[in-house]
Structure 1
């Protein structure tokens, strides 16, 4: 039975992340600090790749797209959370919630697909180095990026339009610090079990398939690397592979745990902690893991500063 306030013009309320009394000030300062470091790190990496001709290669072109996605990703959630905390309010408009949901799902899908393409780039570079200029040409890179942005945007648009035409009931209190589809479903007045199956299928396609492709790519890469003679080339390749796998594991494991679990197994407190990892921690770590362990990027940074 459909009851309660179902008007599409009614605002939502966000419970937020700061629910720990005396710890609120410390948590707020920590989130703001992490946000500023993440934005600065990604902007710096974007600028380095743009201005240094030595970084005008497919690997760094894909990395620049990852930095752009991460910067937009963290800006989708944290500024609203910070403004609500400073204004001592929990309100977010219906349209604002809709936009936030679309951006978050779209950018999350972009990152998932792009990480898969980045692993393919490393696979080609190490396992088929002679054919690398052909297999990873400018046209190919552009096609991969267009595929990433368009497919994730279409997927996000479908989910967003469907969710926000559902009837919402009661207080409209979202037990989360931003608008995310799993946290919105408990507010819906009707049975959403069939739609949850759609979310599961979408999550398996957008998240699990690239993750499996990454594991397959790096299995091939590591096989080739371990056949190399001991030396700097092998050490560098292993270091790069493990750095990428750390980022990949952190992102995919946390997002898969959110978007492939049945609604009945979701715990709001746990969901919020998991969301912190893929919405804040991963965008923070990506530019540093991909750059601080990379001599070419460090060289570009030293040339920029020197």
Structure 2
């Protein structure tokens, strides 16, 4: 699969502080990639380097298969849409007028404006002044600006920041559908881990400028098993077996620690053969937030 964004040993240093420390990103074509970490982790700095807004201290960036250089930057950015920090826009102008200005700057025909307004569900509000828009509508207008010219890559920095639950849901639905509706690969950053879990396929986790994990969300969850709840008919018959495994037996509902599939299967078989009556087994997958906390804890322990 083609890689739309690739960085090698990307670093940005401010004085003695390493804001981004040898970050390696690999964003596959046609996905929604979640770039996740707490505030101050290095997300925005990395995204600004991807767009050539700030220069790396060291390392390299490739966008759409091409090295990002001073000479190639403009050509690559014509194929890239972005929304970094707060959405731009003139509050005293309508959405239509704002988009016409951006279209002229990008050299995009005005007929493209209707298409992007439809994608972000603002077609009916195109004649309203942006100053009358809610924050969620302004964020969607910012995405419409980014979509002008049918970019192959969208880079969105914290697009759900400050939105109410309804606005977050609307933005999540919009971004989930983006590769299918526009053909663009999406790199989205956020510190709202639970929200990201519901909209991304690929994940990169960063903290203190270091990448802690990169890969499919499903792989991250597989490698971060949660506990298992076991419900039994006869806890007394299960008690000696559980104690032998170092598990406290207290009543008919037991919480098992994370176990490999083969070990869990062997334990359940032992319990069944001993007449404990296993009636229910419920695995609990850690949320992305729990996984992140465990990854950062491991990093600090190292």
**TM-score (norm. length: structure 1):** 0.22
Instruction: Tell which has more relative contact order, 1 or 2 (C-alpha 8 A, sep 6+).
Output: 1
Higher helix content, 1 or 2: 1
Higher strand content, 1 or 2: 2
Who wins on radius of gyration, i.e. which is larger?
Answer: 2
**TM-score (norm. length: structure 2):** 0.22
